[in-house]
Amino acid sequence: MTETNGAAPEVLGLRKFKIYTRTGDSGSSSLYTGERLRKDCAFFEAMGNVDELNSCIGIAREFVGDIDNQVALQLEEIQSRLIDVGSAIATPASARQAAKVTHTRYDAKHTVTLEGWIDALDEPLPPLRHFILPGGGKAAACLHQARSVCRRAERSVVALACLGSGAPEQFDVGVQGSGSIVSPAGDADGAGDAERAAATDVQVAEDIMDPAVTVYLNRLSDYLFTAARFLAVQEGKPEVTYQKAK
């Protein structure tokens, strides 16, 4: 690392940029395509939730690594893919920058990878006949927390996609003022009622959100739930089931 004439230090020949830029001090930030929007708009709400999810998975991975290295490696891969999810959210397909849209397009093969991991983790698990309480050891508990945050991230992404089509500037409104940040369908997954789920299907506005992103987040919550159960079994922790009030 060298420093000359007060210039920024260089690392391996690359200029080191400052962490702070002051450009967001007024409460706005930029999408990858360059549009500046309020930080409380639906785009940044979705990206923030995905970022929080990534941090939760990072905490879980620290505990998982002491129990099952293979699952820890899967979580590491997922964390990288969530960075890609954030990039896809920050690059609406309606932007007039085809190269950036193409560069950040999310590949549906990542969901197929998740499904393969889910099937492998689920294979040795006992059948699920009752609701289970989040817990089952530190690793499993952290994975359950990540699952809950994943559902929130998914809801915010779906809400963004359902706001309609058009240029990103039209969504430059605070989340609380939009009236649309909560999905009307809620979390229907796992309810066991296919007809009701079909009745609440939403059409993702593809010029705002790559449909592959919402599918990935939906499958990721299934993965995190299955991985939590798997880690609890690996640690020999019992699954505590829901008990109806007496």
Structure letter (DSSP) for residue 69 = H
Please say if the pLDDT value at position 206 is more than 60.
no
Return the pLDDT at 99.
Answer: 57
Residue 109: which residues within 8 A CB-CB, separation 6 or more?
none
Q: In the predicted model, what is the mean pLDDT of residues 79-105?
A: 74
Percent of the chain with pLDDT strictly greater than 70: 68
At 80 the three-state DSSP class reads helix
Range from 104-118, 181-195, 229-243 carrying the lowest mean pLDDT: 181-195
Distance (Å) of CA 51 to CA 22, 55, 66, 86, 152? 21, 6, 24, 8, 12
pLDDT, tens digit (0-9, with 9 covering 90-100), for 169-184:
544 545 443 333 223 2
The pTM (predicted TM-score) of the whole model is 0.76
47, amino acid identity:
M
Nearest to 211 by CA among 39, 92, 50, 95: 92
Tell me phi and psi for residue 206, to 5 degrees.
-70, -15
Residue 59: which residues within 8 A CB-CB, separation 6 or more?
142, 146
Q: In the predicted model, what is the mean pLDDT of residues 234-243?
A: 94
Helix (H) or strand (E) segment spanning residue 38: strand 36-38
Q: In the predicted model, what is the mean pLDDT of residues 59-83?
A: 97
How high does pLDDT run on average in the chain? 78
pLDDT, tens digit (0-9, with 9 covering 90-100), for 14-30:
777 788 888 888 887 76
Tell me phi and psi for residue 10, to 5 degrees.
-115, 140
Separation between Cα atoms, residue 224 and residue 45, nearest integer Å: 22
Percent of the chain with pLDDT strictly greater than 90: 49
